[in-house]
Amino acid sequence: MSDGGSTSMDETSKRPREEEEDAFFSKSKKTTRSPPTKYKKSDEKLDKIMYIIQEMKEELTEMRKDHKEYREDIKMLRLENEKLRSEQEKVKKENEEIKKEILRLRNSMDHLESDKRERNIVLTGLQIDTQIPKDIASEVSDFIKTNLSVDIKINSARKIGQKIIWVELENLEDKARVMTDKSKLKGRKDLPVYINNDLTANERNIQREIRIKAQELKKDGKSVKIGLHKITSDDGDGKEDDQAMDMQKRLVHNNKVNSDIWKFGTWNVRSLTGKEEELVEELEKVGIDILGITETKRKGVGEIVLTGGHLLIYSGVDKERRASEGVACYIRKENIQYLRNWIAVSERILKMELDIDKKVETTIIVAYGPNEDKKAKVKDAFWEQLSQTTEESNGRLIILGDLNGRVGRKDEETGDTIGLY
C-alpha cells in the first residue's frame, strides 16, 4: 500500500511542475517584430541606389553600343575619305600628265616650226615696191650681194609688212654667211636695214623681253649686246652684269621644254683642268642639259659634283701615264635623276644609260676619235671599240664628241646628218 501511495503522490507532484515548465518555455519563444522606421528608410535608399546603378549600367551598355557604331561609322568615313583622296590624287596626276602632254605637244610644234624656219631670214627696213615673189627674191639677192658680198640662192620670198621681207634660203650655209656678215650694215644711217632670224611666236616673245631688259640696262649706262635668246652686259670694267646673267638663265629655263626636249652639245676643251667653273658658267648661260666633253686630259675615272650641283662624269688615261685624250659628260643637276648607269669604256669612250623616256631607254656615248696622224692600229682599235659599244647599247642612241673628221667634199648621202664635213 505504502508503495502504491507513494507512486501516485510522485505523479501528482510532477504534473504541476511540467505545466510550469511548459508555461515558462511558451513565454520565452521569440516573437516577430516590425523593424524600426529608421531601418525602413535605409532600405528605400539602398533600393534607389541599386535602381540608379542599374540604370547607369543600362545607359553605359547603350553608350558602348553607340560608341561602337560611331567608331564603325568613323572607320567607314575614313575609308571613303582615303578612297576619295586616292581618286583625287589619281585625277591630279592625270591632269598633270595631260598638262605635260599639252605642253610637250606645244613645244614639239614650236620646235618643228623653228626647224622649218631655220633657213629663213627676215629683212626689216628694205623698200621693195613689187609684190611679185620672183622679183622680190631677185632684189633681195642683189641687195645682199652688193652690201654683204655674199652670193645666195633663194627658194622663195614675199612681203609680210611695210618694208618687211620674208626670205627662204636654199641652204643653211648661205644663211650662216649672211648672219655672219650682216654686221656690215651696222651703223649705216643711209641704209637702215636689219637682218634677223625668222622666229616663232614663242621666240619673238623671248626676244621682246630681252629688248625691254636691254633698254633698262642702257638707261643705267651699261654696255649691252643682244643675241638670239641671249643678252650680255658689263659694268664698264669688263665684268658681266649680274642682272643680265640672271635674266639669261631665267629665259633659258623658261624656254626649256620641261624635260621633253633636251639640249645636247659637244665641246673639245683641250684640257679641262682648272676650267670647271668656266664650264659651268658657260653651260648655265645656254641651258645645256647634256654635254659631251673631249680632250679633257683628266686622269682616272670618276664623278665630280660641280658648282651648282651639276654632275661631271669622266674617263681618262691611267694616273701613271702622261695626261692625254680623255672624255667626260656634263649632266645638268635637274637631269641627274634620270641617270641609271654609266661605263668608262676607255679614255676615248664613255657610255651613259638614262631613263629620260618611260617608254624607251636612252644611251649616250661620248667619243673622242684619234687624229689622222695616229697609227692605223690605234684608229682601228678605236672604231672597233666604238662599234661594239653602239651594238651593245639599247633603245635610243645618241653619240656626242669629236671624231676628228677632216675637211673634205660634201657627202650627198649623209649630208643631212653630218653637214659639210
Radius of gyration of the chain (CA): 50
- Read off the amino acid at residue 415: G
Cell numbers given for 382: 678605236
What is the SS3 string spanning 304-320?
Answer: EECHHHCEEEEECCCCC
Angle at which helix 201-219 crosses helix 242-255, to 10 degrees, equals: 170
Give all strands (DSSP E) within 112-213, no chain letters: 120-124, 154-161, 164-169, 194-197
Q: Which helix (H) or strand (E) holds 402?
A: strand 396-402
Look-up of cell digits 652684269? 241
Given a contact cutoff of 8 angstroms between Cβ atoms, the answer to whether 237 and 259 are in contact is no
What is the torsional sign of CA 265, 270, 273, 276? negative
Return d(Cα 328, Cα 291) in angstroms, integer: 8
Contacts of 183 (CB under 8 A, 6+ apart): none
What confidence tens digit (pLDDT) does each residue in 66-111 have? 888 888 888 899 898 888 988 988 898 888 888 877 877 777 777 7
Buried (b) or exposed (e) across 29-58, using 16+ Cβ within 10 A? eeeeeeeeeeeeeeeeeeeeeeeeeeeeee
Cα distance between the two ends of the chain: 179
Contacts of 399 (CB under 8 A, 6+ apart): 364, 365, 367, 390
Cell numbers given for 191: 641704209
Return d(Cα 293, Cα 313) in angstroms, integer: 10
Backbone angles phi, psi at 280, to 5 degrees: -60, -45
Predicted local distance difference test score (pLDDT) of residue 102: 83
Residue ranges in the chain modelled with pLDDT below 70? 1-41, 227-231, 233-260, 358-359, 406-421
What is the torsional sign of CA 199, 203, 207, 209? positive
Q: Which helix (H) or strand (E) holds 344?
A: strand 339-344
Pairing label, strands 362-368, 396-402? parallel
Cell numbers given for 277: 667653273
What is the torsional sign of CA 245, 250, 252, 258? positive
Predicted local distance difference test score (pLDDT) of residue 256: 46
Backbone angles phi, psi at 399, to 5 degrees: -110, 125
Taking CA atoms, 9 is separated from 12, 14, 17, 20, in Å, by 5, 9, 13, 18
Q: What's the predicted TM-score (pTM) here? A: 0.43
